Amino acid sequence: MLTLKGKSVFPGITIGPLALFHRNTISTAAHPIDDADAEVARFQKAREESIAQLKELYNKAVDKVGEEQAAVFEVHQMMLDDDDYIESIEGKIRNDNINAEAAVNQTGQEFAEMFRSMEDAYMQARSADVLDISHRVIQQLCGGPGLDMSKFDHVIIAANDLAPSETLQLDTDKILGFVTSEGSTNSHTAILARTLGIAAVVSTGNLLHDDVEGMTAIIDGLTGTVYINPDEATLTLMWKKQQEEEIRKGRLEQLRGVPSQTLDGKTIKVYANIGNPNNIPQVLDNDAEGIGLFRSEFLYLENTDYPTEDQQFEAYKKTAEALGGKTVVIRTLDIGADKKVDYFKLDPEDNPAMGMRAIRICLTRVDLFKTQLRALLRASAFGKIAIMFPMIISVGEVKKCKEIIGEVRQELDEKGIAYDHEMEIGIMVETPAAAVMSDELAKEVDFFSIGSNDLTQYTLAIDRQQTKLDDFFDPHHPAVLRLIQRTIEMGHKGGAWVGICGELGADLTLTETFLRMGVDELSVSPPAVLPLREKIRTIDLSKEPEA
Ligand code: PEP
Ligand code: MG
């Protein structure tokens, strides 16, 4: 038995086989080859594997989103069978004597350019598809995707580290848990595990080698321990712990439908955080009273190209309708820092968390911003949507955002498209600048939502991604708590309601402190909703706080 100690991300207990995720380096640099026949055979094998993947994706997508949406995977299979495409690649390998990765990349680029220059809008749109299929083949040539999930029913994923976009590409229905040797508890992959209620331990320090593949592992998310190839005694102990967890869950079940109210009668809104509409079942199962943070950038992270206005509209509408009139706060695009996708073509930066991210991208690329705002406004006719802007640092930015919303509203009015004219507009308070300026900012918005993850990062000048700094990353630091207190006070003075949607909102040791500060809403990962409600119901604000 191998025992690893790490940091817990979600306090579940899970037992299952281990599967290793490998991050293969993708390179399309051209180099001369010795054996053209062998290189063509490599290409053909990668092409066939890609077609097999697409078949599986198609079948899964039909079940999940229906035939119409799944059709793209069929189109991609046909494109990979196209004679011109295959001939071009094989020609480059044989005539230019170059490796398959370079030949596929060059052909993909040339075909994409050809499609882009066509008159017909449908053909132009194929340019993204040809790049996508080429990327798939190149990925196969470079060692395949990080993990072929088709081999497993249910697995515990072991990795060195996982980027949010990598995590999103895995089939979450099959994931029992995560264990990573690196990674911080504040990372977006950790947040994703929490949203899904998947047991996860990060930062175990030990790299796992291929020989553990398929072995049984236990993740004890209560203590941050991972057991690989556990002995009988450990297995028995963990089964017992699992049963105790089930009993605790049963107790929390009793709190469904019960108000989140203190003993002295103050009601707090307990909302849930989600990344995409796939998380709606978790929101409803855990009886959240609304959605306090829809991280819309996950729609971008799971895509290989910009999601269209209609794709976004469908996602927002579906969420608003599923919540049946309860509030759904949708945050506009917060891409950048660790949340990156290739198609944004962001310049490499030494300091991406302080770089071109979130609202800065939207205010620089207004077309992109307007596409999202149109989708959001159109969806607001189908439920109670509120819009929230991330990473705000100034009143000027908020005014600019509102001006752009005004322009989008006008466009919709001219076209007679319905939207909610009363829709609330708010901002994340997640920079010290916003917290300091909260008195002025409150006059501009309907609500504040405090992003304690970034507020801690920027106040303490500590990279939230940096595992080595986890011991210094202290969201309980008095500087952070004072900024939160100020934000709540100033928000209320200016007539805005104030919530917390960072991970700190779920920290039960601070619930009473936040309630005493006067917070109106706490938005937490869905599995944290009922434990938070349970905690709120034990608090009596009429009594002096315990020292
Ligand atoms: C935060 O910063 O606290 C927050 C909620 O946003 P994210 O974690 O997505 O950066
Ligand atoms: Mg943030």
Residue at 29 is within a domain? no
Q: State mean pLDDT over 353-370.
A: 96
Q: Among 114, 142, 170, identify where a domain stops.
A: 142
Q: Are residues 228 and 275 in the same domain?
A: no
Q: Are residues 349 and 223 in the same domain?
A: no
Asked whether residue 299 falls in the same domain as residue 380, the answer is yes
Ligand in closest contact with the CA of 195: 1
Count how many domains the chain has: 3
Lowest mean pLDDT among 190-204, 355-369, 452-466: 190-204
pLDDT confidence of residue 252: 95
What is the residue range of 67's domain? 36-142
Residue nearest to atom 3 of ligand 1 (CA): 451
Atom nearest to 451 CA in ligand 1: 3
Distance from C-alpha of 268 to C-alpha of 532, rounded to nearest angstrom: 10
So what's the pLDDT on residue 197? 86
Percent of the chain with pLDDT over 70: 99
Confidence of residue 65 (pLDDT cuts 50, 70, 90): low
| Of the residues 233, 257, 291, the one at which a domain ends | 233
Q: Which atom of ligand 1 is nearest to the CA of 452?
A: 3
Q: Which residue has the higher pLDDT, 318 or 303?
A: 318
Is the model's pLDDT at 135 over the cut of 80? yes
Segment 385-391 shows an average pLDDT of 98
94 versus 336: the higher-pLDDT residue is 94
Active site residue 135: no
Alpha-carbon span 479 to 455, nearest angstrom:
10
Catalytic residue (choose from 76, 135, 188, 401): 188
Q: What is the CATH number of the domain that holds 209?
A: 3.50.30.10
Nearest CA to ligand 1 atom 6: 451
| pLDDT at residue 54 greater than cutoff 80 | yes
Q: Are residues 229 and 344 in the same domain?
A: no
Residue 85's domain is classified under what CATH number? 1.10.274.10
pLDDT of residue 222: 92
pLDDT digits (tens, 9 = 90+) for 142-178: 887 677 776 778 999 998 888 776 777 778 888 999 9
Lowest mean pLDDT across 83-87, 273-277, 486-490: 273-277
Q: Are strands 2-5 and 497-500 parallel, antiparallel or unpaired?
A: unpaired
Considering the domain boundaries, does residue 194 fall inside one? Answer: yes
**What number of other Cβ atoms are within 10 A of residue 114's Cβ?**
14
- Domain end residue (candidates: 178, 205, 233): 233
The predicted structure's pLDDT at residue 152? 78
Question: How far are the Cα atoms of 151, 299, 314 from residue 307, in angstroms, in the given order?
Answer: 30, 7, 11
* 254 within domain boundaries: no
Residue 359 — pLDDT band, cuts 50, 70, 90? Answer: very high
Instruction: Pick the most confident of 38-47, 53-62, 121-130, 144-153.
Output: 38-47
pLDDT in tens, 214-257: 899 999 999 999 999 999 999 999 999 999 999 999 999 999 99
**Residue that wins the pLDDT comparison between 375 and 115:** 375
Nearest residue (by CA) to ligand 1, atom 1, is 451
pLDDT at 413 over 90: yes
Q: Do 279 and 195 touch, CB atoms closer than 8 A?
A: yes
Q: Which is nearest to 323 in space by CA: 386, 255, 374?
A: 386
Ligand 1 atom having least distance to the Cα of 454: 2
**Quick check: is 253 in a domain?**
no
| Count of other CB atoms within 10 angstroms of residue 64 | 11
In a domain, 261, yes or no: no
Task: Clarify whether residues 171 and 307 are in a common domain.
Answer: no
Q: Are residues 425 and 461 located together in one domain of the fold?
A: yes
Q: What is the pLDDT of residues 395-410, one digit of tens each?
A: 999 999 999 999 999 9
Q: Domain with 425 in it: what CATH number?
A: 3.20.20.60
Q: Which residue ranges have their beta carbon within 6 Å of ligand 1?
A: 293, 295, 334, 430, 451-454, 501-502
Contact 305, 535 (CB under 8 A): no
Annotated active-site residue in 76, 135, 401, 501: 501
Give the number of the atom of ligand 1 that is nearest the alpha carbon of residue 453.
3
Mean pLDDT on 92-102: 96
Active site residue 188: yes
Same domain for 502 and 390? yes
Q: Could you read off the pLDDT of 494-539 as tens digits, one per residue? A: 999 999 999 999 999 999 999 999 999 999 999 999 999 999 999 9
**Pairing between strand 199-202 and 7-10?**
antiparallel
Q: Both 151 and 132 in a single domain? A: no
Nearest CA to ligand 1 atom 10: 454
Ligand 1 centroid to residue 519 C-alpha, Å: 18
Residues contacting residue 34 through CB under 8 Å, at least 6 positions apart: none
Pairing of strands 269-274, 225-228: unpaired
Between CA 428 and CA 329 the distance in angstroms is 11
User: For the chain, what is the mean pLDDT?
Assistant: 92
Whether 64 has a pLDDT exceeding 70, the answer reads no
Give a yes or no: residue 382 inside a domain.
yes
Q: Which residues pair with 447 in a beta bridge?
A: 426, 497
| pLDDT of 358 strictly over 90 | yes
Residue type, 256: R
Q: What are the tokens at 69? A: 């949406």
What is the phi/psi pair of residue 68, to 5°?
-60, -45
Ligand 2 centroid to Cα of residue 301, in Å, is 16
Q: Are residues 50 and 257 in contact, defined by beta-carbon separation less than 8 angstroms?
A: no
- Clarify whether residues 338 and 463 are in a common domain: yes
Cα separation, 537 vs 249, whole angstroms: 17
Judgement on whether residues 292 and 435 belong to the same structural domain of the protein: yes
Q: Where is average pLDDT lowest: 125-134, 290-299, 314-323?
A: 125-134
Note whether 532 and 459 are same-domain residues: yes
Q: Which amino acid is at 487?
A: T
Query: Domain for residue 238, yes or no?
Result: no
| Between residues 266 and 123, the one the model is more confident about | 266
> How many Cβ atoms sit within 10 Å of the Cβ of residue 204?
21
Would you state the structure tokens that stand for residue 197, as one six-digit string?
Answer: 């209620």
Is 28 a member of any domain?
A: no
pLDDT classification of 43: cutoffs 50, 70, 90? very high
Mean pLDDT of the region 481-486: 98
> Whole-angstrom Cα distance, residue 81 to residue 77?
7
Do 93 and 157 fall within a single domain? Answer: no
